[in-house]
Amino acid sequence: MSFTLALSGQALLHGPLQPRDDSAVRELLRADIALCNLEASVASDAGWPTKTKTLHLATPAALDSLRALGFSSLAHANNHAFDLGPPGILATHAAAKAAGLSIAGSGLCIAEAIRPSLLPLGAGRQAAIFALDLGPQPDIVYADTMRAGIAPLRMQRRIALPPERLHALREILAELGDDRRLAARQAVGYSAGAAEDGLQAFGQHFIDGPSVAAHWQAEPDDFAQLAQSMAAAREAGHFIVLCLHNHHWEPEWHLTPQWFPALARQLIAAGADVILGTGAPVLQPAQLIDGKPVFSGLGNFAFHTRRSKRYADNKVDVWRSVAVRLHIDERDRCRAIDVLPIAVGRPAEEGGSAGAPTPTPLAGSDAAEILQRFSSNLDDAGRALLNP
């Protein structure tokens, strides 16, 4: 059977979205499943801040407004899901359930956090929505067997250095005493064991190589855990959507991280049908990888930032993005992509939390520029799928 899947970027919101001329957005979200990344924690009297930086706390009414607009599912594995710790996760799940929204990517233990949301597609078929965070984040935010948190798929970077530079680094560590200090901590289990190759320094893993380079891979245990869960979903005949939240950005935020396509290809080989990326607050290009739609960054859908002026002063384009609707055929192939360039929902007022108008369609040169950015990495076959 064929079906439609609507996707948007992150809904970073505090209060409810306020209706305005949003008929085009509502029409796009009229799909069998409509999904966004909730980058917030619902406020809870029992919770307390887990960070000293920005908190994004949403009201239950904010989630109600997402449901009223047409969303049916939320991804919740990101850097703001744990803003109030476990009580915030409980409050967010309760508010999502009350609003009629499924939620994936967080839970009271790792089994709950990694478990996909299952949404009906008709004729007995279901979609499995997984949500995972790629880091970097403190370990405390990630769920474990006896700890609430979010689902991890942590990316690890190994830095290659030519032999002479690696030797110089070893000498620096020896002069500082860092090598002996680390060995003493490792001996009693206070720090992780020594790397199998290379050396650890300043929180990084260095290896020998012909030139300076960064080598990325998903943490093996995290990847194996996800692959096992996806295999079970595939065995059950589910259509698999992966939501990946990432803060390992390029210096130019609008560019897809260099390592992301290789990770996407691994995940597609493990069973993913669609990959939705969020994290950087700007739109990044779409790709087709092995015939599967991959969105490394759909930017924002709602962005209740308290730093509007800083983004404007630095010319960071956080206020324009797209929402998409995929047409999937009976063989799980994407046959068309409806693309709606949008003006992102802004805060009602600087520093306020009363909500914001819903996003509205872009037009003219704004729409053309955003469409060009969205499609710049697509080949002719990929561009042929677009219905702007």
Percent of all residues in the chain with a pLDDT value above 70, rounded to a whole number: 97
What confidence tens digit (pLDDT) does each residue in 188-243 have?
988 776 666 788 888 899 999 999 999 999 999 999 999 999 999 999 999 999 99
What confidence tens digit (pLDDT) does each residue in 28-68 have?
999 999 999 999 999 988 888 888 778 899 999 999 999 99
DSSP 8-state code for residue 189: T
Mean pLDDT, all residues of the chain:
93
**Number of neighbours of residue 370 by Cβ within 10 angstroms:** 23
DSSP string, 216-263: EEE-HHHHHHHHHHHHHHHHTT-EEEEEEE-----SSTTSPPTTHHHH
18 — pLDDT class (breaks 50, 70, 90): confident
Which of 361, 358, 359, 360 is CA-nearest to residue 16?
A: 358
> The whole model's pTM is what?
0.94
Residues 6 or more apart whose CB falls under 8 angstroms from that of 75 comprise: 35, 36, 37, 38, 103, 104, 105, 129, 131, 243, 245, 276, 278
DSSP 8-state code for residue 142: B
Q: Which domains does the chain have, with CATH numbers?
A: 3-154+219-387 (3.60.21.10), 163-216 (no CATH)
> What is the spatial distance between Cα 280 and Cα 268, in angstroms, rounded to a whole number?
22
Residues 6 or more apart whose CB falls under 8 angstroms from that of 382 comprise: 286, 287, 288, 375
* Bridge partners, 350 (sequence order): none
